Amino acid sequence: MSNRTFTMIKPDATRKGNTGAILQMINAAGFRIAAMKMTKLSKEKAGEFYAVHAARPFYGELVDFMSSGPITAAILEKDNAVEDFRKLIGATNPAEAADGTIRKLFAASIGENAVHGSDSNENAGIEGDFFFSKLEQF
């Protein structure tokens, strides 16, 4: 069944000029872009997005990093979107990511790891709605 996931191309990938190459990989893997925008998270908004990690030791670093520069947020559609996108991006830590994955190719570290991908259909909906109004989702 066709369903949706949510992604962000993170500030490290934006700074390195990798946005186009990452979008090309997403396209080539068969995802349809249902919404997309370039924006920058304030510290407050980054903290809200990652609130589920608030108790983790890296939360402060994560919030500082995710508000450090522009990101590209997008909603992606494909059969089995959440699982297939997690496969395309690879493990959180690029040292453990499979060859050919976005994080293996573009991530520098476990923190600055180039892309976000939702971990469930429920979170994909919540995260997409965090960035896009219903009028901006196609």
Catalogue the active-site residues: 116
Encode 14-64 in three state secondary structure: HHCCCHHHHHHHHHHCCCEEEEEEEECCCHHHHHHHCHHHCCCCCHHHHHH
48 binds ligand GDP (CB under 6 A): no
121 binds ligand GDP (CB under 6 A): no
Sites for ligand GDP among residues 75-114 (CB under 6 A):
92, 110-111, 113
Token pair of 76 as six digits: 């992606």
Rg (C-alpha) for the chain, rounded Å, is: 14
90 Ramachandran zone, left/alpha/beta (phi>0; psi -120 to 50): left
The one among 74, 116, 124, 131 contacting ligand GDP by CB under 6 A = 116
Q: Nearest approach, Cβ of 114 to ligand GDP (angstroms)?
A: 9
The one among 44, 48, 61, 129 contacting ligand GDP by CB under 6 A = 61
Q: What residue ranges bind ligand GDP (CB under 6 A)? A: 58, 61-62, 92, 110-111, 113, 116, 119
